[in-house]
Structure 1
């Protein structure tokens, strides 16, 4: 079984990748000592996997409780944070309980934030069931909820005890959700690994067919890159900021359009193309590479431009509140050639207006 490690000293943890992990609860929880497991899921994932997982955990002699919320980015709220907290207190769940996040990025982020705060921190594990969460949000310890004024503005860095990636869950993933996950996959190639970007270009058809070996290879490489970056910069003071390629523009799109109307990966896809075009305007990347980036993103049925109803003023309004801003100055991750990127903070409002009013 492919196993990776996020090396963070006493907070280190493994990432297991294999089709069928959900059917092997004995393995799933072999490293978790808790006798009380709380599975947090949503109304889409729970009918598919929750009963099976809960049954296998109960067979190990552990107490299992379930908390299910509605599906969608619009559910990543302080209201649901409070709802889950109230459920935990009513059980009651003690400090030696363990939360299992069974679902996509919304569930992982929300359950992780709850875990970070409940009784000042209890164990949790990630069982991501979407491509986006498997290659990105389940690894690295970022947890948060959204606010109407900004995405992921309320949260904490809190690492899981383990990540269990069952690639078989992708067989039930909606095509739009799978495509959204590919935006984060492509991101790794743009910021870190030209060879991986080229591999993606050469394997478009097998990826879209969800060939098992191809997906395992792809997901493992994404997790390997992220684990390497997080091990160097857990709290995003340096190199980890590169993982935000496309996110400054993308978060603005999500907030302006209403959380959930554009999927996170769709907004990031458009944001990466906008970032590449901005880099080309600055002379930091060749237009041929902007074209390669746009073509690969479009090959997975993702948008390569922002919403037609957003002008520069709308983008800038949201980006000025972005958590990556420093001293009220906007910062952007820009590609400087496929496989390399940098953070810049010297982009003028005039340049953004010229760029975004034609996006």
Structure 2
């Protein structure tokens, strides 16, 4: 019976990379022999049912019996259906998606004798909890920015509601404020994270995404089918013509194969998740870059000019009313100007100061 027990553990160990250490003194049943045991395990187990008297051995027996009840095919048994009952299934779905997208919440650092981490960003001071958050390269330079996501499972043919859309904008504003609070206190959360540029008083673009699950093929567990819902994100703004304003926010929506998410949550090992996560982060970032590189969709063109800090500061100061919310100084020494549609004044400023059209990416 102990051999059966350790053979089952070894099977789980191999299939799911659990890294158990199994006593090598037992001759484990493996491969084809274990497949045969799965099919006939109940009958073999019940032949030795009454040989064990200690509590630990009886517990082993029960665990083996539970396993073989699911695999034994020696006779037709009544199928047993099992259900999980929850008040809010979206909580489970969010956790499934979070396993695929978000960075682990285990990176901590010391800052003014306080420990801070992604936890502080995920769990906001106003009680809101961000579904998904990870750090990746900014859309406009080599600094990093936080990508913020929300997810929900909808019934077929349903779409994102207004509450979900604007909740996402609140998440983004909370993360921005978190980083600005540190800046106002004269400290830095991370050297390569830049939300506000002091020279221009402009704000970096904060990428947001929304994922909802769907099923279009009940047999497809292998393809993520991460498909954008349209090629234009939802936009929220205070001034529609200011790209580098803290209230100008964009959210791209995606649908994703729920069956793939379910399988990934229960069966994927860490290496497969990391591979998926890298590809998906590239999808999210490139979708935003493609959007901003197409002025017909974004309504913006972005121009740049290499300037030292002193020259950039003077140019912005001399034209601050015109450039407020429309400029950002990058970590690689370039002043960016956003042109909304064909704004006559800014277009003239760009021409007079020899700015060149910039493609993101």
Q: TM-score, normalised by structure 2?
A: 0.25
> Which structure features the higher share of helix residues?
1
Higher-Rg member (1/2): 2
Q: TM-score, normalised by structure 1?
A: 0.25
